[in-house]
Amino acid sequence: MTKKILNILMIIFGIICVCGIVYSLYNIFNWKKDVDSNKKLKIDIEKKIKFDEDDNKLKIDFNALKAQNPDTVGYIKVNGTDIDYVVVKTGDNDYYLNHDFNKNYNSAGWIFADYRNKFDTSDNNIVIYGHNMRDGSMFGTLKNILKSDWQNDINNREIVLVTELGQYRYQVFSVYSRSAEEYYINTDFNTTEEYISFINEMKYRSFYDFGVEVNEFDKILTLSSCIGYGSDRVVLHAKLINDAAE
């Protein structure tokens, strides 16, 4: 190989390296911009959420939230994590992977429910998704549920979901990680036997025995996010323990 050819190859290699660095910096800049944008949006949304000490319930201004985004269906809070977000739902499970609450393009997306859920008390399994963001936003702290400290803290075992029908409390009965699949996000069951089989499988998968009984009459809440590597998902299941009127 002549010196001239070697110099040309070195120049090409240098250009490729510079392009790679520029591309990486561009992605980092956009990622931070999207994360910061969602943080500001979350602060604005929190103004529409109040805690009523008299009846120990969250008061959500759904009229204001739906005026801002008609896709609003609820609000979720998970103790022992930084998850306290308004939940949206649209006609598919793709849109809010890369759109924020204001429907602007955002790589961090937003917290959204499965498009098959109805939020009319008929859902056997309400499924809610969010990205595992490196800064801990969205469902970035959902992976806390895999830690023994989280599992052993009884204060973490109830999840609050507020919809226009009222405030619901769910009791955690299963936490685990698993490769991405369709089974655990099933929202519709053809028979009681099929639903019982589903419940038993979700309990069997749990990394921790919460000692919670779940039967065919229970309604379930499922939270799902990528775990940060490969196609694995971190998953939580909880059963409904109150009527919204309580």
> C-alpha dihedral over 211, 215, 146, 228, to 10 degrees?
180
Higher pLDDT, 23 or 175: 175
Identify whether 147 is part of a domain.
Answer: yes
Give 39's pLDDT tier (boundaries 50, 70, 90). Answer: confident
- Into how many domains does the chain fold? 1
Q: Give the Cα separation of 40 and 137 in Å (integer).
A: 12
CATH number of residue 132's parent domain: 2.40.260.10
Q: Hunting for tokens 């830690």 — which residue is that?
A: 147
Domain that holds residue 54: 46-240
Give this prediction's pTM.
Answer: 0.86
For the stretch 175-218, pLDDT in tens is: 999 999 999 999 999 999 999 999 999 999 999 999 999 999 99
Contact 69, 179 (CB under 8 A): no
User: Is residue 1 pLDDT above 80, yes or no?
Assistant: no
DSSP H helical segments within the chain, as ranges?
A: 3-46, 62-68, 148-152, 192-205
Identify whether 32 is part of a domain.
Answer: no
Give 245's pLDDT tier (boundaries 50, 70, 90). Answer: low
Identify whether 15 is part of a domain.
Answer: no
Q: Give the Cα separation of 59 and 236 in Å (integer).
A: 25
Q: What is the mean pLDDT of residues 223-232?
A: 84
